[in-house]
Amino acid sequence: MISFEAVNKKFADGTTAVRELDMEIPEGQLTVLVGSSGCGKTTTLRMINRMIDATSGKVRVDGRDVRDVNASTLRRNIGYVIQQSGLFPHRTIGDNIATVPRLLGWDRKRVRDRVVELLDTVGLARDLAGKYPHQLSGGQQQRVGVARALAADPPILLMDEPFGAVDPVVRTLLQDELLRLQDELHKTIVFVTHDIDEAVKLGDRIAIFKTGGHLVQFSTPAELLTHPADDFVADFLGAERGLKLLSLTSLADVPIEPVTTVTESTSVAEARRAGDGWILAVTDNGRPRGWVHVDHLPADGVLADAEPIVAAGLTANASLLAALDATVSSPVGLAVRVDEDGCVAGVSSPQQINERAARFRAEVLVP
């Protein structure tokens, strides 16, 4: 557990970055520090591993005042990931990942094995170990950054806007990966971002900071969205607070309705017989392909020739927000549901999704 007790940080130029901060960061959870630039979130993060020392107050890790621990020793036990990854350009990927294990004096074989293991963990090919950072894409570099931070299996991971410099598609991917990793590893992660959507998506708990170093609210995403502490937080959360709330719960409890599917290799003539109006085309192994209207079928050929309107399948883990989005973009107003293997399981209607949303709202609002 990491705790801040009446922590202040004033820089030499007179600016106050953090003011009277009291906060307890729970163990094994992902805590996001969020706020606009200059709000003190990064300073707060950097006080944990003593990249910055507090002006007054105490920062404790597992009950010990960090000031009592040698800075380098402390840092070797806390993983650290920063924007642009901060990889050492003159060292190979393998050497980069091996930094802390080597500092800790691990033997050669153990280091090598660990590097391979970590490449697997973060989803990178093993043969990248011999490459140099600049030979990798931004997303790959960021994964290496995470691998390097995890190398000595530290209980705490500090991440300072780690996905700030990659494009949106890759960012989403990296966020999903991080969630998957956290499911396995259960580290105490402190994550800094200025992107509220990222905070809501990743955080078990979110701390919102205001310019001048004030912590304004520290709570779960759901509570934040339903009970913003003040106008500042409400403003910061943005106009679509309700929709963001929908991203916090999954489709798991939404019923699945059966749907008629036709494999895409089916001949046009046969497909016509399957029904009238919109039919759901699936691949030969049952994955969703898209919606096709029988009136739009070509004269002959197979169903695939009709160029279906693509429909993505949603697993039980998908958020209500994603489901609602799918219903809106579907020509029939239905979200396609798939099982764990990705095969079509049925559909859900907006009404069913809304019912679940209403129940969720009631759950989080009540306390």
One of 43, 85, 141, 193 touching another protein (CB under 8 A) = 85
Identify which of residues 42 and 226 has a Cβ nearer to another protein in the complex: 42
Q: Does 172 bind another protein (CB under 8 A)?
A: no
The 3-state secondary structure of 156-167 reads EEEEECCCCCCC
Identify which of residues 137 and 329 has a Cβ nearer to another protein in the complex: 137
What is the rounded CA–CA span in Å between residue 125 and residue 140?
A: 10
Residues 35-74 that bind another protein (CB under 8 A): 49, 51, 71-74
Give CA separation, 113 vs 116, 120, 140, 143, 146, in Å: 5, 11, 20, 18, 17
What is the rounded CA–CA span in Å between residue 263 and residue 209?
A: 52
Stretch of residues binding another protein (CB under 8 A), selected from 76-84, 255-263, 265-273, 307-315:
76-84
As a dihedral over the C-alpha atoms of residue 132, residue 136, residue 142, residue 143, rounded to 10 degrees, the angle is -90
Identify which of residues 121 and 217 has a Cβ nearer to another protein in the complex: 121
What is the rounded CA–CA span in Å between residue 34 and residue 193?
A: 5
Residues 6+ apart with CB under 8 A from 173: 139
Token couple for 110: 């153990």
Stretch of residues binding another protein (CB under 8 A), selected from 26-34, 91-99, 258-266, 346-354:
91-99
The DSSP element (H or E) to which 216 belongs, if any, is strand 214-219
Q: Does 82 bind another protein (CB under 8 A)?
A: yes
Residues in contact with another protein, counted by CB under 8 A, come to a total of 32
Q: 154 with 78: CB under 8 angstroms?
A: yes
Q: Does 219 bind another protein (CB under 8 A)?
A: no
Identify which of residues 82 and 271 has a Cβ nearer to another protein in the complex: 82
Q: Which of 97, 113, 72, 100 is nearest to 148 (CA)?
A: 97
Q: Does 15 bind another protein (CB under 8 A)?
A: no
Give CA separation, 118 vs 4, 76, 155, 202, 230, in Å: 31, 17, 15, 21, 42
Identify which of residues 71 and 310 has a Cβ nearer to another protein in the complex: 71
Determine the 3-state secondary structure of 323 from DSSP.
Answer: helix
Q: Does 87 bind another protein (CB under 8 A)?
A: yes
What is the rounded CA–CA span in Å between residue 227 and residue 351?
A: 26
Site string for another protein, 132-171 (x = CB under 8 A): xxxx---------x--xx--------x-------------
Q: Does 199 bind another protein (CB under 8 A)?
A: no
Q: Does 190 bind another protein (CB under 8 A)?
A: no
One of 89, 105, 168, 367 touching another protein (CB under 8 A) = 89
Compute the least distance from the CB of residue 36 to another protein, in Å: 21
Residues 247-276 that bind another protein (CB under 8 A): none
Binding site for another protein (CB under 8 A): 49, 51, 71-77, 80, 82-92, 99-100, 103, 132-135, 145, 148-149, 158
